[in-house]
Amino acid sequence: MSISPKVRILFLLIFVLTLFYISSFSYAGAGNFIPEKVRYEGKTYVYAPFHSQRDRVFEINLDEEPGNEVFISFAAIPGRDSGKEQFFHFWQILDSGDNGYEAVQTERSRGLPGEVYFKDLNSDGEKEIFVFTTGYGQYLRLAVYSYREGRYVNIWEGESICGIKLELEATPPVIKVASSSWGGKVIDEEGRQLDWCFAAEPLYAVYAWEDNNFLYNEQKSNYEPLKSLR
């Protein structure tokens, strides 16, 4: 059975539109911003595509200057010259220049990428950056960065296997670091009394935004950490 010229034209049009859609989708994807390799402190790290579902790309205005920056977050492993297969989390701020977007700041931490949030806590036009990562043993980590003297610096960080709650809309904004409820005297299904239980409501060490940092707040907490967090 022969195909009429009109049907052929229709198929050709669908084919062209499909190619256009695919190319447009690819252009908007993370692969155009996240590098195949990144240099950090004199060493080369290679992008880990098998963790691409953790990639994060944001087009966002981090300051009061005109135009948006691009914030990217991804996983990478050391190059062959290192002899290690450890995963690292990287984030970069990209700004547009004469040669397109260029990295103006690169930071590294251990673990795999998680969620990223932005909030101008001081209403000074500079957004704070909140970066979650997952460490080995399922530890959840949170690092907070604030713009100080021309670059973003790490002002607070903490980790917990029981979770971390970030409440940016609270007054003041707070970070709640959970801990197992030791001494909770939990009664299990067989009537046994347990000294602690992961299923119980965890205790929280609460850090409230004050004096340009997240400081431990004894009144809001029902748990005191063993050591002070930054």
CATH 2.40.128 fits 35-161, yes or no: yes
Residue count of the chain, please give it. 230
Give residue-wise pLDDT tens across range 192-230.
665 555 556 778 999 999 999 999 999 999 888 765 444
- Kindly write down the DSSP assignment for every residue of 58-69, as one continuous string: EEE--SSSSS-E
Are the beta carbons of 156 and 230 closer than 8 angstroms?
yes
Region 59-75: what's the mean pLDDT?
Answer: 92
State pLDDT tens for residues 105-133.
999 998 899 999 999 999 999 999 999 99
Read off the pTM: 0.77
Q: What angle is formed at CA 131 by the lines to CA 125 and CA 134, rounded to 5 degrees?
A: 175
pLDDT in tens, 136-191: 767 899 999 999 989 999 999 999 988 999 999 999 999 999 987 655 555 566 76
What span, in angstroms and rounded, lies between the C-alpha atoms of 80 and 197?
44
Amino acid letter, residue 187: I
- Domain ranges, ordered by start, for the chain: 35-161, 162-230
